[in-house]
Amino acid sequence: VTLTETDKDILERNGVIAPIFVSPAAVNTKKIPYKAWNGKMLFIGGYGHLPNKEGIDWFISRVMENLDKSVPLQIVGAGWPLSYERENDNVKLLGFVERLEDIAPGSIMIVPILTGSGMRMKILEAAAMNIPFVTTSVGVEGLDFKNEESCLVADTPEDFAKALKRLFIDEDLREFIAHNASALWERKYSVKALSEVRDDIYTNIMERNSMSVM
């Protein structure tokens, strides 16, 4: 059982012949109505996960120089060294947050992931909370969120900054992106939707086992 179709394709290309099922993980995040932008960017992820550190280092060193210095970046997650805050005036470390719904809604999420595989749970959290987000092709890999429809996708520092600037100034675009992402999350990635997927997988496996016994 893999998290994404991308992971399934990789296994099949590498010779796995056993049946492979796709069952995305769910986030038990409360759905929250869209809120107007609060003037902040948000990143969610711990320092101990290398793709998070790599992505934030890239964002701070390559993207933020192209953005309005008055727009702060809040980083939620454990382990981030205080140097990130001391050396960057518009970076604020919030540490571990028990209830994301208390601080995340109204922000613009960044998902500047450059390497890795699997699912970006932070994207599902953003979608559930009606938060528009900008990500990379790697960040959204394996998920059904589409550029210009349910998110903005950019892979160079310049394009990532341009995508954020569009969201900074366009309330209609922010709401459009957030609404579409939230609808997709509820349809395909909510706990209810993914419970049904997992139930179908178990039923399929049980039927295969019953046939093999016969």
**Residues counted in the chain:** 214
What does the pLDDT look like over 72-98, one tens digit per residue? 999 999 999 999 999 999 999 999 999
Q: Which two tokens stand for residue 45?
A: 């992820």
* Predicted confidence (pLDDT) at residue 213 exceeds the cutoff of 60: no
Residue-level pLDDT at 27: 75
* Predicted confidence (pLDDT) at residue 211 exceeds the cutoff of 90: no
More confident residue, 130 or 188: 130
* Predicted confidence (pLDDT) at residue 200 exceeds the cutoff of 90: no
* Predicted confidence (pLDDT) at residue 210 exceeds the cutoff of 80: no
**164 with 41: CB under 8 angstroms?**
yes
What does the pLDDT look like over 2-52, one tens digit per residue? 878 888 888 999 999 888 888 777 777 888 999 999 999 999 999 999 999
More confident residue, 146 or 201: 146
Q: How far apart are CA 192 and CA 132, in angstroms?
A: 22
What does the pLDDT look like over 99-158, one tens digit per residue? 999 999 999 999 999 998 777 999 999 999 999 999 999 999 989 999 999 999 999 999
What does the pLDDT look like over 55-76, one tens digit per residue? 999 999 999 999 999 999 999 9
Report helix, strand or coil for 202.
helix
**Main-chain phi, psi angles of 91, to 5 degrees:** -115, 130
**58 with 69: CB under 8 angstroms?**
no
Q: How far apart are CA 201 and CA 62, in angstroms?
A: 43
Q: Environment class of residue 139 by beta-carbon count within 10 Å: exposed (0-12), middle (13-18) or buried (19+)?
A: buried
* Predicted confidence (pLDDT) at residue 214 exceeds the cutoff of 60: no
**Main-chain phi, psi angles of 37, to 5 degrees:** -60, 135
Report helix, strand or coil for 114.
coil
Provide the β-strand partners of residue 22: 2
* Predicted confidence (pLDDT) at residue 53 exceeds the cutoff of 90: yes
Residue-level pLDDT at 131: 98
**% of the chain surpassing 90 pLDDT:** 71
Specify the residue for token string 């038990």. 28
Specify the residue for token string 């601080």. 103
Reported as a pLDDT band with limits 50, 70 and 90, residue 212 is low
The residues, any chain, with a CB within 8 Å of residue 136's CB and separated by 6 or more, are: 55, 111, 112, 113, 114, 153, 154, 155, 160
* Predicted confidence (pLDDT) at residue 191 exceeds the cutoff of 60: yes
